[in-house]
Amino acid sequence: MGCSKKLDCEDATLCVKNVGNDTIYYCWGCYPYTEILLPGEKACRNIGSIHSSTNEEDLSVYYFDSNHGNLVIRMNECNVQRQID
């Protein structure tokens, strides 16, 4: 059994950065892709308040769907940064 801590965020943010050389077409948890992420840019989503433990089953989950693959992102801290190429 792992150790968990309390996650208290009033203004949580989730960002995905395009670290590749191609334009990425994406959407937060939907299809068709409605947004464009140019190389070097990042897309951020304001998650708002999170008050939970950091146990895997208690974490909020968000989906970043794109033509370069899909990410399942668990909010295990107040500001989560991921990369895609």
2, exposed or middle or buried, with CB in 10 Å at 0-12, 13-18, 19+? exposed
**What is the domain range of residue 78?**
6-84
- Whole-structure pTM over 0.75, yes or no? yes
Q: How many domains does the chain have?
A: 1
- The C-alpha atoms of residue 23 and residue 48 are separated, in whole angstroms, by 28
Q: What is the pLDDT along the chain (85 residues), one digit of tens a residue?
A: 456 678 899 999 999 999 999 999 999 999 899 999 999 999 999 999 998 877 777 788 999 999 999 999 999 999 999 999 9
Contact 73, 66 (CB under 8 A): no
**1 in a structural domain:** no
Locate the DSSP E strands across the chain: 6-18, 24-28, 35-37, 42-53, 61-66, 69-74, 79-84
